[in-house]
Structures are given as C-alpha cells and as structure tokens.
Amino acid sequence: MGGKLYIVPTPVGNLEDITLRALRVLKEADLILAEDTRTSSVLLRHYDIHTPLRSHHRNNEHATVSGIVEEIEAGKNIALVSDAGTPGICDPGFMLARACREAGIDVECLPGPTAFVPALVGSGLPCDRFLFEGFLPLKKGRATRLSQLADEERTVIIYESPLRLARTLRQLAESFGEDRKSSVCREISKLHETFHIGTLGELAEHFAVNQAKGEIVIVIEGK
C-alpha cells in the first residue's frame, strides 16, 4: 500500500504557532523533507521530534522529485516543510505536490501559518478581496508588472527583502501614486513584529532613512 505526502505549515515566528495536528504528523512521518535542515532542526528539537530529515530545496527539487514519488509509492509517509510558513507559498512545494497528484498519490495539506494573512488582516486595509503577488520580478518585467498592479482594484500583497524595501516602496509610490494607503509589516509573529501604516509616499520616505530588518510584507489598498 502506498504512502502519502503531507504538506505541513510551520511557524513564521513564534514556535507556539504550530498546530497539534502538525506536530503529530511530523512525529509519525517516515521522513521530513526540509528547505533547510538546520532551520527545521530547531523546531524539531523544541518539540522533541526525531523523524529523519532530508534537504529539499529549489536547487535540488528538479532532480529529486521523481525519487521522492517512488518512495511514497513504496509506502513511505513523507512530510514536506519549508523554513517558515506553508510550503508552496514562495517556497518549494508546488513541483512535488504536482508530481504526487499526477502519480495518483494522496496529498494532504494541513492548514496553518503563512505570513501574508496576518499582515493583510492586521493592516486595516480591505481584506474581503485581495491579490497575493509574492515577490516582484527583480529586473525583467518589473516595470510592466508594477504598471499592471497599479490598476488592480483589490488589495495587493507583496513580499520583499529588507535590503530592497526602500527602493521598492519608491517604485510603488511612483507607479500607484504617493497617496495610496499602505502597510509595511515586518517580523510577523516574532518579538519585534511591527506595522508601519501610511501612504506609499510616507512609507517610502520613512524607509529611505530607516533600514528595515527581518521578513517584510507590503499591503497596498486597491485602486
């Protein structure tokens, strides 16, 4: 009898954010695939979980997916985790889930943490309809994508590196307009979680002189 692929969200900050179901799955799985085994080991040690770990990341997933599918078909129950949040959301996961579905393997995705939901809901901006953009293109197609998003009527959510935040906010202000209401949330669920609320122009000015640290989520009101 074949096994199953479990997609297991892990905390984006506070380790207490993991669910009881996720802990059970991680304990009972035959193998855990981790984006970075060093990062996942911290979580596993905290909860006294001793399931074997194997690296599964963007640089090796193309070469390893078929072998993992064969292991599950042979009866292994395998859990996939990323460094933080839900695998597949700006992290490895899509390719393995697709391959398992195509092979007729059961895929069970647990509900759990992802950074953009608390950033959106906590921003005070409309969250009934939204567009999750993830990371913007770094070079090719960036200006075109910004122009397209400027006309979006739904709330827009963007992930960004703290090193690129000031530049991105300035580009957003130029494309969307200086007065578009926005939020910059950093370090979701961590000790120094902060929300900066204002217009794109105000936020661009603030972060031009205040270096941000940690994971960043930008939320922008729709047109």
Task: Tell me, letter by letter, the H, E, C secondary structure of the chain.
Answer: CCCEEEECCECCCCHHHCCHHHHHHHHHCCEEEECCHHHHHHHHHHCCCCCCEEECCCCCHHHHHHHHHHHHHCCCCEEEECCCECCCCCCCCHHHHHHHHHCCCEEEECCCCCCHHHHHHCCCCCCCCEEEEEECCCCCCHHHHHHHHHCCCCEEEEEECCCCHHHHHHHHHHHHCCCCEEEEEECCCCCCCEEEEEEHHHHHHHHHHCCCCCCEEEEECCC
Give residue-wise pLDDT tens across range 21-56.
999 999 999 999 999 999 999 999 999 999 999 999
pLDDT confidence of residue 58 = 84
Q: End of a domain among 89, 109, 129?
A: 109
The boundaries of the domain holding residue 18 are 4-109
Q: What is the CATH number of the domain that holds 212?
A: 3.30.950.10
pTM of the model: 0.91
Q: End of a domain among 74, 109, 144?
A: 109
**Domain total in the chain:** 2
Give residue-wise pLDDT tens across range 52-80.
999 998 888 889 999 999 999 999 999 99
Q: What is the CATH number of the domain that holds 42?
A: 3.40.1010.10
Q: End of a domain among 109, 137, 159?
A: 109
Give residue-wise pLDDT tens across range 144-153.
999 999 999 9
Q: Are residues 156 and 189 in the same domain?
A: yes
